[in-house]
Amino acid sequence: MTVDYNTKMVTLLGDPLKQSFAAQMQNCGYEAEGLNMLYFYTEVNNDHLEDVVNGLRYMNFAGFAVTKPNKVAVLDYLDELDPLCKKMGASNTVVKTPEGKLIGYNTDGIGFVRSIEKDADVKVDENVYFCIGSGGAGRAMCSALAYYGAKKIYITDAFEASSKSLVEDINENFAPVAEFVPCGDFSKVADATIVMNASGIGMESHLGENPMPTEYIKADQLYFDACYNPAKTQFLLDAEAKGAEILNGLGMSLYQGAAQIELWTGKEPPIDAMKNKLLEIISE
């Protein structure tokens, strides 16, 4: 990749960023598409976020990406918000217009919706969902489901204040389709066609753990885990053993990144090249 006077920059604003694969996937996509762009990291938290964002207005940037802990705070420094982003109250993608305006979007939930649509042939508005976890991933997933017409979304979390807050936000800002489920109550899983794990249980220090008892798994359900490293968490392994269809979070990560490229360039992203790069990274 050659960086020259015309290179359009994109940076990810967050802290910490050492665990991120975004730059490798994005730069692979730019190269495959012949785009003169460069994606890199900028570690910054809320304390200096305003200074950095204002600086980006006057530099040769197509836009920037946003991750923890800045997805909510960044809204204060943007000029406009996409309707989904405004309803969610968080942005992970910002586009800089030729006039220098900064417009906020959120592609996290879009990545999830595209993944289940393309990789599992799901029609969002025909299904009932049960989500374990209401943090960043769970909030994005459930908000996008409500935005695109989900019939019903049951939400539970070990931190009940978090799941209650998400249910209230969805019912107020999207549609009255969300219902709070107390922690440890999995009786509503039987009503769901798609069960999602957005809790992080099953990865890193919780490797080998399943956030729900296996007796609630049914073979005619789809089980989705936002994690993709490992490729099959215990949640997915247990569902697969019961004959259920499973899907991990690789597609969610892939399609949210692809949606960012669409927003920054207006071009169709090279999905296959980006997917191969992600698979290469996690196999190392």
Where residue 154 sits, what CATH number does that domain have? 3.40.50.720
Q: Are 206 and 179 in contact (CB under 8 A)?
A: no
Together in a domain, 244 and 257: no
Q: What is the pLDDT of residue 203?
A: 85
> What pLDDT, in 10s, does the model give residues 238-270?
999 999 999 999 999 999 999 999 999 999 999
Together in a domain, 188 and 158: yes
Residue 146 lies inside a defined structural domain of this protein: yes
Together in a domain, 135 and 90: no
Give me Rg for the CA atoms of the chain.
19
- Reading the block at residue 94, the tokens are 């910002």
Residue 114 lies inside a defined structural domain of this protein: yes
CA distances from 154 to 112, 146, 194 (A): 17, 11, 10
Together in a domain, 140 and 270: no
Which regions in the chain score pLDDT beneath 70? none
Q: What is the pLDDT of residue 45?
A: 93
Q: Which residues contact 91 (CB under 8 A, 6 or more apart)?
A: 66, 71, 74, 75, 78, 81, 85, 104, 105, 106
Number of domains, the chain: 2
Q: What is the pLDDT of residue 2?
A: 84
Q: What is the pLDDT of residue 136?
A: 87
Q: Determine whether 152 is an active site residue.
A: no
Residue 2 lies inside a defined structural domain of this protein: no
Together in a domain, 121 and 240: yes
Together in a domain, 101 and 124: no
Q: What is the pLDDT of residue 283?
A: 85
Q: How confident is the prediction for the chain on average, in pLDDT?
A: 96
What single DSSP character describes residue 65?
E
> Where are the extended beta strands (E) located within the chain?
8-14, 37-43, 61-66, 80-81, 93-96, 102-105, 128-132, 152-156, 178-180, 194-197, 222-225, 245-247
Residue 180 lies inside a defined structural domain of this protein: yes
Together in a domain, 190 and 269: no
Together in a domain, 256 and 268: yes
* pTM for the structure as a whole: 0.92
Together in a domain, 229 and 154: yes
State the Cα–Cα distance between residues 128 and 274, nearest whole angstrom: 31
Residue 1 lies inside a defined structural domain of this protein: no
Together in a domain, 76 and 136: no
What single DSSP character describes residue 40?
E
> What pLDDT, in 10s, does the model give residues 3-24?
999 999 999 999 999 889 999 9
Together in a domain, 198 and 242: yes
| From 71, 87, 96, 275, the catalytic residue | 71
Q: Which residues contact 241 (CB under 8 A, 6 or more apart)?
A: none
Residue 147 lies inside a defined structural domain of this protein: yes
Amino acid at 12: L
The domain that contains 265 carries what CATH number? 3.40.50.10860
Together in a domain, 76 and 134: no
Q: Which residues constitute the domain of residue 206?
A: 109-248
Residue 73 lies inside a defined structural domain of this protein: yes
Residue 3 lies inside a defined structural domain of this protein: no
